[in-house]
Amino acid sequence: MTILIKNIGEFFTGDLARPTAPVKSILIADGKIAAIDPPEQKADKILDAAGGAVMPGLVDGHVHPMLGEWTPAQDTIGWIGNYLHGGTTSMISAGELHVPGIDYDNLTPELVTSLAIVTAATTGRVRWSGVKVYAGTALMVAGMTETHFDRLAAAGVKWVKFLFYPFKDDTTEARNYVAWAHARGMRVKVHTGGVSRSGASVVCGYKILSWLQPDIAAHVSGGPIPMSDEDIDSVVDHTSFALEVCSSGNYRSTSRLVARLIARDQLHRLTLGTDTPGGTGVIPRGMLRNVLYFASMCNLTAGQAVAVATGNTARAHGVDVGILEVGRPADVVVCGSITGSAGSTLGEAIAHGDLPGITHVLIDGEFIVSERSRQTPPPTKRAFFCCCDTGGFEASAV
Ligand SMILES: [Zn+2]
């Protein structure tokens, strides 16, 4: 099956080094981007973007899945499908801590290891509403041995997270965890800022991060409570790992963090997530809202803001999505500015902080959302399927 998306008016690459490009069409074959501006404008299916925009599917770097489409955090079902309609095509678990009845004060190595293995083998095993849900992230607690990491690796666990870990003056154990995780190809994330909704996490700022050296510092500007301004400045200035911003955070701290990253030419470190479901709720348009805040209030260009929410976040977590280039998975959002927006193009709309309207979402070259999103108004320029050149293909067949 080949798909051509033509008449693209704006093309967001997801690559921070070159966030937009004058691309007019893309060819998709076998679920991947096969060509950019192919000379032959032929395919099994042709989508006319009508001058609208194409961007990579959004990558939510911080979600808390638990049991498929049900989240006990807000007792909501269908949440992943709703995020899909907000443009999210991949999401990465920051730990499955919302098991009903779990006792945060008495977590054992056995329990957190088992929980990650079970989630990887259930919620993380299949796609939900077509979305790539990377689930099964182990929550570090004291007393773990290398055997636990062996079991996690054998189960395919790719991420570990320090959240309930009681950081003490003796740093040997925590450093061992980071080394054991890295030796098995896992990435390490750490909760930062004040105490989490569980009430069981410890405060984490620059001091801990400076010796722990994780791969990603989670919600640096708050999730919900940010570290101090001085700590944010020190983390930007004196570390080099990825720095995540989440919907659960503090807007003022976010703007401080981003201004400092821009001033130090460190935007490549910035990643995005919603940190939901959780106390902040279930936010289907959460990733888009983060992008809009970056572009309208934090001096990122629209292309940079999209790249943070896609290529930057995917790269930091080690997943091969988020950038639209030949050979990459065809995870694509077709969208545009909404009638009444201050911007006639998507770039102008995002720069003004106006929500985009989505018509189509593809994951691995498959149309998962067609005609329009159920979570956004329709864009003014609405993409449509062409019947010509397709051997009688009809739009309603999708
Ligand atoms: Zn979280």
Distance between Cα 274 and ligand 1 center (Å): 8
Is the pLDDT at 156 greater than 70, yes or no? yes
- Would you give the distance in Å from CA 335 to the centre of its chain? 18
Q: Does the domain at residues 58-284 carry the CATH identifier 3.20.20.140?
A: yes
Report CA(330)–ligand 1 centroid distance (Å): 28
* Mean pLDDT, rounded, for 324-353: 98
Q: Give the DSSP per-residue string, 108-129.
A: -HHHHHHHHHHHHTTTTTS-BT
pLDDT, mean of residues 337-359: 98
At 202 the pLDDT is: 81
Judged against a pLDDT cut of 70, whether residue 397 lies above it is answered with: no
In the predicted structure, residue 391 carries a pLDDT above the cut 90 = no
Q: How far is the CA of 279 from the centre of ligand 1 (A)?
A: 9
Rounded Cα gap, residues 38 and 239, in angstroms: 42
- Strand (E) or helix (H) holding 147: helix 146-154
CA distances from residue 65 to 31, 108, 123, 126, 141 in whole angstroms, order as listed:
26, 20, 8, 13, 20
Q: Are 310 and 56 in contact (CB under 8 A)?
A: yes
pLDDT at 196: 82
Q: What is the pLDDT of residue 394?
A: 44
Under the banding of pLDDT at 50, 70 and 90, the label for residue 184 is: very high
CA of 214 to the centre of ligand 1 (A): 16
How far away, in angstroms, is 191 Cα from ligand 1 center?
A: 7
Q: Nearest-CA neighbor of 198 among 223, 161, 169, 177?
A: 223
pLDDT of residue 387: 75
Instruction: Supply the pTM of this predicted model.
Output: 0.96
Tokens describing residue 251: 């807007």
The domain limits of the chain are 2-55+330-397, 58-284
Q: Which residue's entry shows tokens 């050979």?
A: 327
Provide the token pair at 287: 């990733």
d(Cα 173, Cα 179) in Å, to the nearest integer? 10
Q: What is the mean pLDDT of residues 258-271?
A: 98
Question: Residue 388 has what pLDDT?
Answer: 60
pLDDT in tens, 87-145: 999 999 999 999 999 999 999 999 999 999 999 999 999 999 999 999 999 999 999 99
| % pLDDT > 70, the chain | 97
- Round to whole Å and give the CA distance between 268 and 240: 10
pLDDT at residue 395 tops 60: no
Report the number of secondary-structure helices (H) and strands (E) in the chain.
11, 22
* pLDDT score at 392: 41
Query: Is the pLDDT at 396 greater than 80, yes or no?
Result: no
Contact in structure between 238 and 207 (CB atoms under 8 Å): no
> Are the beta carbons of 369 and 87 closer than 8 angstroms?
no
Query: Cα of 193 to ligand 1 centre, how many Å?
Result: 11
pLDDT tens digits, one per residue of 189-222? 999 998 888 777 788 999 999 999 999 999 999 9
The secondary structure of residue 255, as a DSSP letter, is H
pLDDT confidence tier of residue 182, bands split at 50, 70 and 90: very high
Instruction: Decide yes or no: CATH 2.30.40.10 for domain 2-55+330-397.
Output: yes
The neighbourhood of ligand 1, an ion, using CB within 5 A, equals: 94, 275
CA–centroid distance, residue 138 to ligand 1 (Å): 13
What percent of the chain has a predicted confidence (pLDDT) above 90?
93
Task: Look at strands 10-12 and 53-56 and give their pairing.
Answer: parallel
**H or E element: which one contains 260?**
helix 251-263
Res 390: pLDDT: 46
What is the maximum span of the chain, computed from C-alpha positions, in angstroms? 70
The Cα 122–Cα 273 span in angstroms is 22
Position 393 pLDDT exceeds 70: no
Mean pLDDT of the chain: 95
How many angstroms separate the alpha carbon of residue 72 from the centre of ligand 1? Answer: 14
Between CA 229 and CA 225 the distance in angstroms is 12
What is the rounded CA–CA span in Å between residue 316 and residue 290?
Answer: 17
As to burial, measured by CB atoms within 10 angstroms (0-12 exposed, 13-18 middle, 19+ buried), residue 199 is: exposed
Q: Using the predicted structure, report yes or no on whether residue 256 has a pLDDT greater than 60.
A: yes
CA of 246 relative to ligand 1 center, distance in Å: 9
Q: Which two tokens stand for residue 85?
A: 């309609």
What's the pLDDT score for residue 378? 97
276 Cα: distance to centroid of ligand 1 (angstroms): 7
- Cα 229 to ligand 1 centroid, rounded to whole Å: 21
Is residue 249's pLDDT more than 90?
A: yes
Distance 95 CA to ligand 1 centre (A): 7
